[in-house]
Structure 1
Amino acid sequence: MHNSPGFLDLDLPDDFWIPIPLDTNNLSSLSPFLVPQDHLGSSGTFYAMAAFMFFLFVFGTSINSLTIACTFQNKKLRSHLNYILVNLSVANLLVSGVGSSTAFCSFACRYFVFGSLACKIEGFAATLGGMVGLWSLAVIAFERWLVICKPLGNFTFKPEHALACCFVTWVCALAAAAPPLAGWSRYIPEGLQCSCGPDWYTTNNKYNNESYVMFLFCFCFAVPFATIVFCYSQLLVTLKMAAKAQAESASTQKAEREVTRMVVVMVLGFLVCWMPYASFALWVVNNRGHSFDLRLATIPSCLSKASTVYNPVIYVLLNKQFRLCMKKMLGMSADEDEESSTSQSTTEVSKVGPS
């Protein structure tokens, strides 16, 4: 419950929660499913968010659809790592196709125009896709660690292993997204009330929101983040050792620098996606009674949805092999020097390991 003076947690647990003046008599007049939420922000704020969501929908859907189509069209892209990238793209499509498109229409209308049932569906779909994407990032880091650092010796990471890992990401995502449908927390409008997600900012003993938020933080943020940091730190150490041992090899040094930049961008991308959401949710849970601006509560949700665009940019468009195939698919000429550089860099990185 929001305990700040002048605010009240509406007792409409299956529908919504919004802070309202205590002297308001007609509660239904503020329903995010019935009327514009102009008391929460200016029209300009809603329309700016609508434009941002439209951008995420168009570019997120386009980039991820292109990634999937390109993989199916080019046999040389059907490697174990690219299977995980396709899994990430499918998850991103779920978020952009359901979450971003729904949020765009709702922000344009300034309220969640689709109703309470659609709110639960959108919240579940966006959470499911987001969690699959998040766990896919951890699986990519794990795969890179196994292939390059070779902690298991001559173990070969095969396509069937990649498919098993993809299956695990969906199982973990379902474990995170399904509980609100069964009564552990709930899906309600969040922030400016134009998109839906798990209830992380109300105290309601019936739904045990606090315990669910802690579960999400530990299982769906801390564990993947720790996996990513551990795997990539080990990868950097291995690459630096290889570069030091082959100091005379310009191609090895170049490969080491490229991978280092990629690792830094990957970790930063993860933090930009999920740190605001995790931090804000934890702050709200541990600071009950403190007021906060619902416009700020919208930002973490938007950043997590934005992962549908910058995740494929980081993991796909910065992958030279993918980039070359996409250029050919779109009828653009591929640079021969780039193809040669791709082959050489791939060869040098594949040699790295405690042989």
Structure 2
Amino acid sequence: MDPLVLSVNGVLHIQQGDSMVRDDPFSGPLASISPWNYTFLACLMFIITLVSITENFTVMLVTFKFKQLRQPLNYIIVNLSVADFLVSLIGGTISFLTNAQGYFFLGRWACVLEGFAVTFFGIVALWSLAILAFERFFVICRPLKNVRMGSFHAALGLLFVWTFSFIWTVPPVFGWSSYTVSKIGTTCEPNWYSSDYSDHTYIITFFTTCFILPLAVIVGSYGKLMQKLRKVSNMHGRLGNARKPDQEVARMVIVMIAAFMVGWTPYAAFSITVTICPTIHLDPRVAAVPAFFSKTATIYNPIIYVFMNKQFRKCLIQLFKGNRAALNSHLNPMSDRMPGTAESNLGQMSTITARVPVFVSPLERPEDQYSEGASTAP
């Protein structure tokens, strides 16, 4: 009797008599997927991984080389690059190798490693974006008038990001849900497809704490920030150039929020959909798109948050020219002697923060313009 081939939830099954045998992704490629699909994914992951590792390593290297960039407000940006670098180094490399082979030949232990590493470092990066937004709100809007952002507060932000992310990504390693092979058979992720009640509770909790919350922080912080800038800009409406910086800040905020949504919303929507409807039929190639697409965030994060900043670009160019001492002297000649002045803050990479002094209310004291840690650099 010929075997009956069925496709359930996008995964090929072969029924022989009364038995149902699923393709094993640890022993060979799925029979329902043509080899060229895996070749394409391998090439895609090679490009994404190479570009991401290069970009994020460059961010870390330039920040290490130039003292003026090592400011408290930049800690979280460097942390973002570290997280993206590790996502690409571990998850990107494993994904490239497994797609090149067409199946997860590294075994179950590597599946758990990749699933945990990509999820953990990915959530670290996600929460880094949220903390970055909150820091900008804190520095510019000053909700606590007498509190200034310093190294201690920046360190607390980093401690929160890594601890909180670890708390919500390690449970599948110890039995609350699990990390399993995705439908395409070459990557591993949280078990979105289980119909078990315990797995559902984890996925809902994970979705709330690692997507809804950081998104709320980002939108809320940048929303308050834009209100502040619009209010102060209106007070300076008589100045001909008051609106231009305001519009530039608005564009940057829109880009930041859009980047967050574009990178993570498809994956979040996919995960919650298959959690609610685990029997939904999805082609494995279609199901793989959101996960692979989210990995592109490791490429454009450095571009948006770092390379678009004029100060960082100057340091980067000077690094390759090999004239770092001249740049230090030109950009930050008094930083060692005057750590509390505006000159000592020239290294801050945030475009938003760099624009803040333009909008300072005339009711505030002049010295308050610099106590917020904002740069006067254009």
Q: TM-score range by the shorter chain?
A: 0.7 to 0.9
Q: Pairwise mapping of residues 1-355 of structure 1 onto structure 2 (< 5 A)?
A: 6-7=6-7, 18-23=11-16, 27=21, 30-39=23-32, 41-205=33-197, 208-331=198-321, 348-350=355-357, 352=359, 355=364
Deviations 1:187-218 (A, max 9, x none): 1111311111111122235xx22111101111
Cα 1:156/1:203, change in 2 over 3 Å: same
Deviation at 1:22, TM superposition (A): 3.1
Deviations 1:203-253 (A, max 9, x none): 235xx2211110111100000000100000111111112222223445543
Measure, in 2, the Cα distance between the counterparts of 1:47 and 1:301: 17
Cα 1:42/1:70, change in 2 over 3 Å: same
Deviation at 1:274, TM superposition (A): 1.1
State the AA in 1 paired with 2:254.
V
Deviation at 1:353, TM superposition (A): 5.4
State the AA in 2 paired with 1:268.
A
Deviations 1:79-103 (A, max 9, x none): 1221101111111111000001110
Task: Give the secondary-structure state (helix, strand or coil) at the position aligned to 1:91.
Answer: helix
Measure, in 2, the Cα distance between the counterparts of 1:259 and 1:94: 30
Cα 1:345/1:101, change in 2 over 3 Å: closer
Measure, in 2, the Cα distance between the counterparts of 1:38 and 1:90: 38
Cα 1:44/1:333, change in 2 over 3 Å: farther
What's the % identity of the aligned pairs? 35
Measure, in 2, the Cα distance between the counterparts of 1:311 and 1:346: 17
Report if the CA contact (8 A) 1:316-1:322 is conserved.
yes
Report if the CA contact (8 A) 2:173-2:179 is conserved.
yes
Task: Compare CA radii of gyration and give the structure with the larger one.
Answer: 2
Task: Give the secondary-structure state (helix, strand or coil) at the position aligned to 2:105.
Answer: coil
State the AA in 2 paired with 1:198.
P
Measure, in 2, the Cα distance between the counterparts of 1:225 and 1:323: 29
Measure, in 1, the Cα distance between the counterparts of 2:69 and 2:119: 28
Report if the CA contact (8 A) 1:46-1:107 is conserved.
yes
Measure, in 2, the Cα distance between the counterparts of 1:271 and 1:310: 13
Measure, in 2, the Cα distance between the counterparts of 1:350 and 1:80: 18
Deviations 1:17-40 (A, max 9, x none): 954233386847x2111112242x
State the AA in 2 paired with 1:265.
V
Measure, in 2, the Cα distance between the counterparts of 1:288 and 1:26: 18
State the AA in 2 paired with 1:37.
L
Measure, in 2, the Cα distance between the counterparts of 1:33 and 1:144: 46
Report if the CA contact (8 A) 1:185-1:212 is conserved.
yes
Measure, in 2, the Cα distance between the counterparts of 1:252 and 1:348: 11
Measure, in 1, the Cα distance between the counterparts of 2:166 and 2:219: 24
Cα 1:253/1:44, change in 2 over 3 Å: same
Deviation at 1:46, TM superposition (A): 1.4
Measure, in 1, the Cα distance between the counterparts of 2:247 and 2:8: 55
Q: TM-score, normalised by structure 2?
A: 0.82
When structure 1 is superposed on structure 2, of 114-123 and 30-39 the one drifting more is 30-39
Unaligned runs of 5+ in 2: 332-344, 365-378
Unaligned runs of 5+ in 1: 10-16
Measure, in 2, the Cα distance between the counterparts of 1:299 and 1:263: 27
Cα 1:139/1:158, change in 2 over 3 Å: same
